[in-house]
Amino acid sequence: SRLVRAGDTPSRLARAPSEPVVQYYFQGAAADLDLYLLRNPTTGLLVARDDTILIERYQYGRNDRHRFTSWSMAKTVTSMLVGIAIAEGRIRSVDDPAAAYVPGLVGTEYGRTSLRDLLQMSSGVRFVENYSGRDDVAQLARDTFLLRGPGGVEAVTRFNDRAVPAGTKFSYASVETQVLGLVLRNAVGRPVAEYLSEKIWRPIGAEADATWLVDQAGQEATYCCMNAVLRDYARLGLLLAHDGNWRGRRIVPTAWIREATTVRPEQGHLKPGVATPFLGYGYQTWILPGDRRMFLLSGVRGQAILIDPASRLVLVHTAVRKQPAGGSPELRYLWQSLVTTLAN
């Protein structure tokens, strides 16, 4: 793994004098936070609003010094770094093809795909991600952070069969984020973890170093596999809740975060209820249904950072669910209750 170094002085997060009472209904019965934690394999749960921690709980022997793995929450981090690289002029446009930055992708389907279509999981290239253990993402894992393959460009070029035209169909594929990571590495001329440290981790005053798993070629597994303490995930969520501003300093362009978390009218295939039965999709970010703009970072086995920019409310959730995907919808009900009771 590669370190994502924190700065010398952590930013201060205030702490509410007492934990708010959280109550909600799930499957026809009243529930509260204690009941939620009792029946869900949650390792860490933190709720913050503005710069104040309202709730911070740990289970299964975990504590505030432990790093928790992001799984696919790292995808949203990769997207934010792409936005910063564009603002700095290191990447020209989301309409550029990936091969413009990665010579090893010239002549491949991913190489011909625009960064926008990769950001929106709409490349149209065939990639199976169903967590069977025998799917394409299992192969990608072997070739990247499990260190059983060459890594680098070779980890992504084996997937080169076009299924549908680019920009027409949402199909969740971790390899598309890995392509974006290769683009980012070449565009900024240094490892992605170092870029994250300089552009986000240190500026937001992260309190601990994070790590990011790398492959045999030294390329970060940008589709997964960042590891950070719970309060630093909260700081990341608060940065996004403030539309990229951190205590008066612009860290991520506001326009980029708005674009990353909004479905355009002409992109019907990304809408909530269309992209998936419930959620929509932006730039490597999941979008909740409804008129109020809310979005989340999500990873298998119950990892999530839910964000409500209107109230600057953030929920960080780490877990060890047995099922990789399609877990209990109870977290949604807990979140909705938090928004209803704490957002005012």
Which domain, by its residues, includes 221? 2-342
For β-strands 245-246 and 249-250, DSSP reports them as antiparallel
CA distance 2 to 212: 5
- Per-residue pLDDT tens digits for 251-284: 999 999 999 999 999 999 999 999 999 999 999 9
- Per-residue pLDDT tens digits for 68-123: 999 999 999 999 999 999 999 999 999 999 999 999 999 999 999 999 999 999 99
What confidence score (pLDDT) does residue 343 get?
81
- Relative orientation angle of helices 174-188 and 136-143, to the nearest 10 degrees: 30
What confidence score (pLDDT) does residue 183 get?
99
What confidence score (pLDDT) does residue 129 get?
98
- Say which CATH number the domain at 84 has: 3.40.710.10
- Per-residue pLDDT tens digits for 304-341: 999 999 999 999 999 999 989 876 799 999 999 999 99
CB of 144 within 8 A of CB of 151?
yes
* Long-range contact pairs involving 285-288 (C-beta distance under 8 Å, separation at least 24): 285/75, 285/76, 285/79, 285/260, 285/261, 287/261, 287/262, 287/263
Entry pTM:
0.98
Number of domains in the chain: 1
What confidence score (pLDDT) does residue 48 get?
98
What confidence score (pLDDT) does residue 328 get?
75
